[in-house]
Each structure stands twice: as C-alpha cells, then as structure tokens.
Amino acid sequence: MTAGQIIQGENQRRGIRGRLSGMAGGATGPLMAASIASSFIPGQLGQVAQTISMVGFAASLLPPQFRLIAAGAGLAYFGFKKFKGAMQEAEDRLYGLANIAEVTKEQTKTLGEFFAIVPRKLPAQTLTGPGVATSAQQQRINKLRTDKGFQKEFRKDIIGLRSATDTRAAMSQLFAKATVLRGQGFSSAMVQTIIEAIKQEAKRTDIFIDIKSIDFSKQSLEKLTSTQSPLVKNFNKALNTGLKASVSPATGELVEWRTNQEEFNAATKALANNINSIATGAAGMFETGVIGVQKYKNAFSTLTSTLEDAGDKQIILNDILKRYDKQLGTNTSKITEYKGQFRDWETDRKSTRLNSSHLKLSRMPSSA
C-alpha cells in the first residue's frame, strides 16, 4: 500500500467520523431539549414522551440506513414492556381482594427487618378516632410507606385495596392479613402501622380496622361474619353462573366448562385466602397465648359455618390445600394435620351440590 493510499484512507475515516459527529451534534440539541421538556409532563404520557425522545436521540447516532430499524426496535421493546405491565396490573386488579388477605414470605421478611423482630412461622388497633394518628404514629407510618421493600412486596395489596369496590369485603381481607401478622408475633401497634400504611398508600382511609379487637370474642366474630359475607356472596354468584355443558360427539359423555373461569377463580381465591389467613393467624395467636383455647375453637367454629353446603366447602378447602401441596411436597402428615383443623368441612357425599357438576371442572376442555 502506497503512502498516498494510506493518507487517502485516513482522510476517509476522518470524514466518516466528522459526519457522525455532525449528525450527533445536530440531533443532540433538539432531542435533548425534547427530553428535558418531556420530563415536565406528568404521568404515563411523560414517560412515553421521554422514551420516544431518548430512542430518537440514540437512533440519530447511527448511520441513516440503521436509524429506522433501531428506532422501530426501541419503540417495539417499550411497547412490549408497557403491554406486559398493563397485563400484570389487570391481573392484580382481578385478584385484588385475594391478594390483600395473603401474607407472603417476602412481605413477612420485609416487615421483620423493618420492625427488627423475628416473625414466627405459623402452622400448615386502628388509630384512635376515624383515621387520626398521633405525630409519632404517623411518622412511623410514613417511614414504612417510603421503605423500598414495603413498596415492592405490598404493591399487589395496594392495587387490590385501591380497586376494591366493596368496602366490607376489603375490610374482611385486611382483618385476615392483620390476624396472620398478629399470629406471626407482630404487636398490635406494629400491625396498626402496617395496615394504616397499606390503607394510606391505597388512598382508602375510609376503611377502619380495630386491630385490638381481633381477639375472636363474640363481638369480634360477629363483625368478621358481617364483613366476610360479600366474599361469600361473590363466590356463590361466580359458582352458580357461567357453567355450560354439552355432549361430546366423540364419547357421548357430558362435558362441562365455565365461561367465567377467571372470575370464578378470583372469587374462590379471595374467599379461600380469607379463611386460610384467619385460620393460620388464629392458630398462631393461640400458640403464643394471645387468645385462649375457647376463642381458638370459636374462630374455627365460625370459619366452618361460613359456607353451608358441603360441596362449596370442598371447593374452598381444595383451593386452600393447593398451596400446602406445593410448600410441603410429600410431607402428607403435615397436610393431613392442617386439613384436620377443617374436619367439620369434610365432604358430605350426599350433598346435592357436591354430586352436581360444580366439582367436575377438571374435565373442563383445555380450550375453555
């Protein structure tokens, strides 16, 4: 290669770098200005505007033939993330009531670290006045609300409570969550802070829960039954509607499916989580001496009378035991022990509903 060719090649490279620098410089001003301006747009519209401006800026640094491809790929990725997020939020809203009643391992860990206690492993007081907190109480609530772990692990609870349309049902689920937390060893004051933080984040200060009254006294159980009734009503409504049947042309057998399967699953999970949380919470409160044996018995007596029909009870019991099958694996003795607590729920095979089509959902076609 001659000296002239080397010099010519170097000049070409310099020319390319110069053109790229010029393109970047020319695009930087307007696109960065657009990015800064979009940061002042509130909500999701602002996020969209910022994403578009940044994708445009990144694409402007590429050669012309790659700009459209890069911009399209960037916007497609952004669209996928937004779609996925929307689908997840829709699911969280559908199962909102069910999520409120459940206390996950991650939530327990987050709260244990925040309050510096070691929560108990459970077996297989609101603020004075209508939402009025003392300065010290509100400071603790605010501190928990801004905790990153709380924001992450209680996101579903907050969405569920915010979207709940039935105040009594939401109250019952908060009652259930509070019962589990008390059974895990959190004090009334701590549980008060947790419930208030969830309520305030969800902007549902219209709901009042007296944590100190969760003692399974007669008055407490009457309130539990009253607030639980919408969950039972929703379950029965979903159970008795949407069931379809047809004769299979191949086998001649009756095949059944649900047109409201998602709604039925959500209503079942909401009631099952409520009963399961109260049952395990009551067991923990009994083991730690918070309640005596009679109140413990009263709690289970009330729970077992929640549903009158044995077939309905079996549906809920099956849903409850699903999670223990996953958690305990082959430890059938533990499952039997837990199921024994619901001995009054054992199925009466003469139940008309049990012998009807309600429990034949395992035969539901995969396409349903």
- E strand or H helix at 193: helix 188-201
Examine residue 66 and state whether it is found in any structural domain, yes or no: yes
Q: What angle do CA 18, 22, 24 make, to 5 degrees?
A: 115
Are 192 and 126 contacting, i.e. CB atoms less than 8 angstroms apart? yes
Q: Please check whether residues 42 and 173 belong to one and the same domain.
A: no
Q: What is the pLDDT of residue 313?
A: 81
Residue 127 has what pLDDT?
38
Rounded CA-CA distance 36/49 in Å is: 10
The answer to whether residue 182 scores a pLDDT higher than 90 is yes
For residues 164 and 254, state if they share a domain.
yes
Please enumerate in sequence order all residues whose Cβ is within 8 A of that of 125, keeping only pairs 6 or more positions apart, or say none. 188, 189, 191, 192, 210, 211, 212, 213
- Domain-embedded: residue 223: yes
* Residue 202 pLDDT: 95
Range of the domain at 296: 95-363
Is pLDDT of 67 > 70? Answer: no
Residue with tokens 């990725």: 77
Question: What average pLDDT does range 103-112 have in this prediction?
Answer: 89
Comparing 91-105, 205-219, 297-311, the range with the smallest average pLDDT is 91-105
- Per-residue pLDDT, averaged over 61-77, amounts to 62
| Tokens matching residue 367 | 């396409």
Give the residue-averaged pLDDT of 172-180.
93
CA atoms of 365 and 368, how far apart (whole Å)? 5
Domain boundary (67, 87, 107) is at: 87
pLDDT score of 179 more than 90: yes
pLDDT of residue 170: 92
Residue 21 pLDDT > 80: no
* Whole-angstrom distance, CA of residue 189 vs CA of residue 191: 6
pLDDT digits (tens, 9 = 90+) for 134-153: 788 899 999 999 999 999 99
Asked whether residue 324 is domain-assigned, the answer is yes
pLDDT band at 368 (very low <50, low <70, confident <90, very high): very low
- Cα gap 17→13, rounded to integer Å: 6
Residue 125, pLDDT score: 34
How much is the CA Rg of the chain, to the nearest whole Å?
29
**pLDDT interval class at 303 (50, 70, 90):** confident
Q: In which band, very low, low, confident or very high, does the pLDDT at 183 lie, cut at 50, 70 and 90? A: very high
Which pTM was predicted? 0.66
Task: Kindly state whether residue 368 falls inside one of the protein's structural domains.
Answer: no
| Residue 71 tokens, joined | 């911009």
- For residues 182 and 331, membership in a common domain is answered with yes
271-292, pLDDT tens digit by residue? 999 998 998 899 889 888 999 9
Together in a domain, 211 and 64: no
Q: Is the dihedral of CA 286, 287, 289, 293 positive or negative?
A: positive
Contact 166, 204 (CB under 8 A): no
Quickly list H helices, 39-132: 43-60, 64-94, 96-101, 105-115
Tell whether 292 and 318 lie within a shared domain. Answer: yes
Examine the domain organization and report whether 21 and 108 are in the same domain. no
Clarify whether residues 318 and 198 are in a common domain.
Answer: yes
Within this chain, do residues 110 and 80 fall inside the same structural domain, yes or no? no
Would you place residue 244 in the very low, low, confident or very high pLDDT band (cuts 50, 70, 90)?
Answer: confident
**Average model confidence (pLDDT) across the chain:** 74
Residues 6+ positions from 124 with CB-CB distance below 8 Å: 280, 324, 327, 328, 334, 335, 337, 338
Indicate if 80 and 102 belong to the same structural domain. no
Structural domain total, the chain: 2
Whether residue 332 is predicted with pLDDT greater than 60 in this model: the reply is: no
- Report pLDDT for 367: 35
343 and 232 part of one domain: yes
- Range 167-185 average pLDDT: 93
Distance CA 151, CA 158 (A): 9
Do residue 70 and residue 137 come from a single domain? no
Q: Which of these three, 35, 52, 87, is where a domain ends?
A: 87
pLDDT at 104 exceeding the cut of 90: no
CA distance 69 to 58: 12
Residue 363 has pLDDT above 90, yes or no: no
Q: Specify the pLDDT at position 42.
A: 56
Calculate the alpha carbon distances from 100 to 23, 166, 172, 236 in Å: 53, 13, 9, 20
Mean pLDDT calculated for residue range 202-207: 90
Alpha helices for 305-365 (secondary structure H): 310-328, 332-340
Residue 356 has pLDDT above 50, yes or no: no
Residues 61 and 103 in one domain: no
Q: Where among 53, 87, 121 does a domain terminate? A: 87
Report the pLDDT value the prediction gives residue 187, as an integer from 0 to 100.
Answer: 92
Asked if the structure places residue 63 within a domain, the reply is: yes
